[in-house]
């Protein structure tokens, strides 16, 4: 099978390696000339995936149309702030509008609070969106790149398409489960990045395991509150794409959102922390989106609110912790 993978960052690269290991040919589209040249000449993507080589069946291109005409299916792995504009270009250039399409990105649109399948619907229409499949789970790109096994979830309302991508991706390194709860998977996979920032702040301030467990548990409760209001199923938030992903990203130094939180605790502004990280921290736009939704629908999200104040209003993380601890006493 020939696969077009869109996005030459960590996740697009890791997925290219996973797919090519299964015997498929990949055309990776990137907007970075150095990434394209490195993959095509040295089979490496040093900035994103270090010394781990790509197979010779992975080639890169700077031309979106070339990748699209190559692929018998499409996997998209671009940051949420570029998702809408890239998708518009993809849909405009696509000859076969019925091609199997998988979105492996995570995040809510900051300005609108929309999930990515809602953006797919707005850009490409109901029919295309209803056949799109979503991938989300406890999946740190660099662990797969290093050959360490993990599980993921593929969500779609079109069972045939969902199983198509399950077959394409499954291997001894990646075990993929399916579900039809697209909203639950997208909401959990996006919102948990806010908790990863909170846990990074906590670790950076020198707090311990009690604090992290408190943020994870109470945090999961509040993202489940919003996610189920939006239409996701409660049990999804306690599965791989919810609790599973939350545990990984809020405890691992490999998680950018966690590292971003540590930088905030160190006194960096969000802009300075973003620059130092050099890669996307999806929890930031998702936190803005979650705040928008929680205010619109009256959903109580105390941890999200404090992270929002740290990010947007420059609140001192120490004051945020004090305010969280001194909230009105209540039953669990
Ligand atoms: N890194 C991970 O471990 C991981 C795991 C699962 C999901 N994800 C998700 O995958 C998505 C991509 O993340 P990533 O880790 O690969 O990011 P990254 O920062 O490693 O790379 C981002 C890539 O997107 C490209 N890009 C940025 N703006 C673009 C634009 N306008 N047009 C085309 N390309 C553009 C950049 O050139 C870069 O190649 C995110 O939504 C992220 O949450 C990441």
pTM of the predicted model as reported, rounded to 2 decimal places: 0.97
Structure tokens at 302: 């105390």
The whole-number average pLDDT for the span 107-113 is 96
**What pLDDT score was predicted for residue 279?**
79
Spatial distance between the Cα atoms of 320 and 49, rounded to a whole number of angstroms: 35
Q: Is the CB of 134 under 6 A from ligand 1?
A: no
SS3 94: coil
The residue ranges of every structural domain in the chain are 2-180, 183-325
**What pLDDT score was predicted for residue 280?**
76
The answer to whether residues 234 and 228 touch, using CB atoms and an 8 Å cutoff, is yes
**What pLDDT score was predicted for residue 185?**
98
The answer, yes or no, to whether residue 93 has pLDDT greater than 80, is yes
265: part of which helix (H) or strand (E)?
Answer: helix 256-265
CA of 76 to the centre of ligand 1 (A): 9
CA of 13 to the centre of ligand 1 (A): 9
Active-site hit among 192, 296, 309, 330? 192
- pLDDT averaged over the chain? 97
**What pLDDT score was predicted for residue 58?**
98
> What CATH class has 183-325?
mainly alpha
Q: Which residue puts its alpha carbon closest to atom 43 of ligand 1?
A: 106
Domains 2-180 and 183-325 share a fold: no
Q: Is the CB of 260 under 6 A from ligand 1?
A: no
Runs of H (alpha helix) within the chain: 10-21, 33-42, 46-49, 64-70, 80-93, 116-124, 126-131, 141-145, 159-169, 182-204, 209-230, 234-237, 245-249, 256-265, 270-277, 283-297, 302-313, 317-325
Q: Is the CB of 10 under 6 A from ligand 1?
A: yes
Question: Which pLDDT tens digit goes with each residue over 243-302?
Answer: 999 999 999 999 999 999 999 999 999 999 999 998 779 999 999 999 999 999 999 999
Question: Which pLDDT tens digit goes with each residue over 216-245?
Answer: 999 999 999 999 999 999 999 999 999 999
Q: Is the CB of 256 under 6 A from ligand 1?
A: no
**What pLDDT score was predicted for residue 179?**
98
CA of 79 to the centre of ligand 1 (A): 4
Question: Which pLDDT tens digit goes with each residue over 2-37?
Answer: 999 999 999 999 999 999 999 999 999 999 999 999
Nearest to 25 by CA among 41, 45, 5, 8: 5
Compute CA distances 242 → 31, 228, 237, whole Å. Answer: 31, 12, 4
CATH code for 2-180? Answer: 3.40.50.720
Say whether 167 is catalytic: no
């Amino acid at each position: 099978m020939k696969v077009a993978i869109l996005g030459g960052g960590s996740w697009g690269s890791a997925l290219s390696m996973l797919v090519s290991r299964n015997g498929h040919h990949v055309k990776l589209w990137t907007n970075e000339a150095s990434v394209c040249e490195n993959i095509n000449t040295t089979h490496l993507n040093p900035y994103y995936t270090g010394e781990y080589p790509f197979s010779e069946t992975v080639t890169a291109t700077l031309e979106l149309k070339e990748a699209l005409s190559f692929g018998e299916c499409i996997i998209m792995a671009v940051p949420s702030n570029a998702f809408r504009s890239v998708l518009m270009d993809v849909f405009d250039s696509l000859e076969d509008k019925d091609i199997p399409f998988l979105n492996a990105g995570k995040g809510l649109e900051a300005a609108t609070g929309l999930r990515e399948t809602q953006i797919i619907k707005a850009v490409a229409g109901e029919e295309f969106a209803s056949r799109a499949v979503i991938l989300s789970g406890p999946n740190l790109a660099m662990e797969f790149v290093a050959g360490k096994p993990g599980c993921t979830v593929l969500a779609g309302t079109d069972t045939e398409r969902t199983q198509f991508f399950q077959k394409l991706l499954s291997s001894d390194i990646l075990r993929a489960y399916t579900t039809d709860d697209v909203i639950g998977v997208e909401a959990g996979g996006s919102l948990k990045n806010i908790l990863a920032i909170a846990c990074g702040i906590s670790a950076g301030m020198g707090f311990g395991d009690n604090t992290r467990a408190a943020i994870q548990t109470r945090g999961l409760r509040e993202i489940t509150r919003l996610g189920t209001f939006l239409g996701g199923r409660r049990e999804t938030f306690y599965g791989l794409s919810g609790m599973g992903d939350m545990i990984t990203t809020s405890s691992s130094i490999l998680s950018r959102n966690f590292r971003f939180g540590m930088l905030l605790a160190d006194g960096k502004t969000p802009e300075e922390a973003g620059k130092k990280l050099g890669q996307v921290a999806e929890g930031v736009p998702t936190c803005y989106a979650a705040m928008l939704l929680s205010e619109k629908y009256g959903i109580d999200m105390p941890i999200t609110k404090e992270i929002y104040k740290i990010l947007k209003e420059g609140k001192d993380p120490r004051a945020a912790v004090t305010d969280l601890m001194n909230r009105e006493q209540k039953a669990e």
